[in-house]
């Protein structure tokens, strides 16, 4: 069982959400990926989206899911700079709609209090919370947060499960930044399939806190699967990372919505 935490429409051919989704599923089938999480809609992706842009992006994901509920789940894209609208958009897409999680990107630093109402609203219906993090040698973008800043958010909500996206790219820093926060799982998508990444994460965090994702189509399914399948860890740990951890995290909201896992 392979469940992919992190998939976008980027680089998949198609003129409509349905066409792009069909191509994404075709490539997922080649790699035996059973389910994947979809967010952000068509590129280009605005870094600080307006309410109108958020609605358009989320509608594209909703349209894509119409014929593919058996293969994918959607995460709503929200912007803390438009907090009241984002809470309403969460209600539309997740509380009252088919989506099961929240995607937060780089509009605002994640250690700021504006994220707290979004985290709390998501937790109220068991929605999964995914926050992009990165560490750039050249300097992060203005609203882009590091794993250390993400740890501040996690510390304010110690009882709410939350995912550190990409593990900051610089995974040696990212793993250690979130290690003490037991409510944090790490997403391993997007960076190069470097030897030692997953082995270090298993040693420092335990396999129950690691979630496979690809960041397709910006990255290939195959290169990102190689991080896990080629890692020097137990088969049981690989099963947890490749699907069982994400399935367990999603189980409460899937049950709430009556979706089959």
pLDDT at 185: 98
Tens of pLDDT, residue by residue over 217-230, are 999 999 999 999 99
Taking a C-beta distance cutoff of 8 angstroms, is the pair 104, 130 a contact?
yes
Q: Where in the sequence is the domain holding 19, given as residue range(s)?
A: 3-257
CATH number of the domain encompassing residue 38? 3.20.20.140
- The encoded tokens of residue 186 equal 């790490």
Number of domains the chain contains: 1
Return d(Cα 41, Cα 8) in angstroms, integer: 7
Flag whether the pTM goes above 0.95. Answer: yes
pLDDT at 261: 78
Terminal Cα distance for the chain, rounded: 11
Residue of 193, 247, 243 lying closest to 215 (CA atoms): 193
* Gyration radius from the chain CA atoms: 17
Confidence of residue 42 (pLDDT cuts 50, 70, 90): very high
In this structure, the chain runs to a length of 261
What is residue 92's DSSP assignment? I
Tens of pLDDT, residue by residue over 209-255, are 999 999 999 999 999 999 999 999 999 999 999 999 999 999 999 99
Taking a C-beta distance cutoff of 8 angstroms, is the pair 4, 219 a contact?
no
């Amino acid at each position: 069982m392979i469940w992919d935490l992190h998939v976008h429409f980027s680089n998949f051919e198609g003129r409509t959400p349905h066409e792009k989704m069909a191509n994404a599923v075709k490539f997922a089938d080649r790699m035996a990926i059973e389910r994947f999480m979809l967010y952000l809609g068509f590129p280009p992706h605005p870094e600080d989206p307006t309410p109108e842009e958020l609605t358009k992006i989320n509608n594209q994901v909703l349209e894509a899911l119409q014929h593919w509920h058996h293969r994918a789940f959607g995460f709503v894209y929200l912007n803390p700079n438009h907090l009241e609208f984002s809470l309403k958009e969460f209600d539309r897409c997740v509380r009252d709609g088919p989506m099961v999680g929240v995607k937060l990107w780089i509009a605002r630093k994640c250690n700021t209090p504006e994220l707290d109402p979004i985290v709390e609203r998501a937790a109220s219906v068991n929605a999964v919370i995914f926050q992009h993090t990165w560490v750039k040698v050249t300097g992060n973008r203005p609203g882009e947060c590091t794993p250390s800043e993400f740890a501040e958010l996690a510390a304010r909500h110690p009882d709410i499960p939350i995912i550190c996206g990409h593990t900051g790219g610089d995974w040696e820093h990212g793993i250690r930044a979130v290690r003490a926060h037991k409510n944090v799982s790490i997403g391993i998508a997007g960076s190069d399939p470097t030897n030692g990444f997953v082995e270090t994460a298993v040693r420092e965090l335990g396999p129950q806190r690691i979630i496979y994702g690809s960041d397709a189509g910006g990255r290939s399914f195959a290169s990102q699967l190689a991080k896990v399948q080629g890692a020097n860890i137990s088969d049981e740990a690989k099963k947890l990372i490749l699907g069982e951890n994400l399935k367990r995290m999603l189980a409460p909201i899937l049950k709430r919505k009556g979706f089959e896992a």
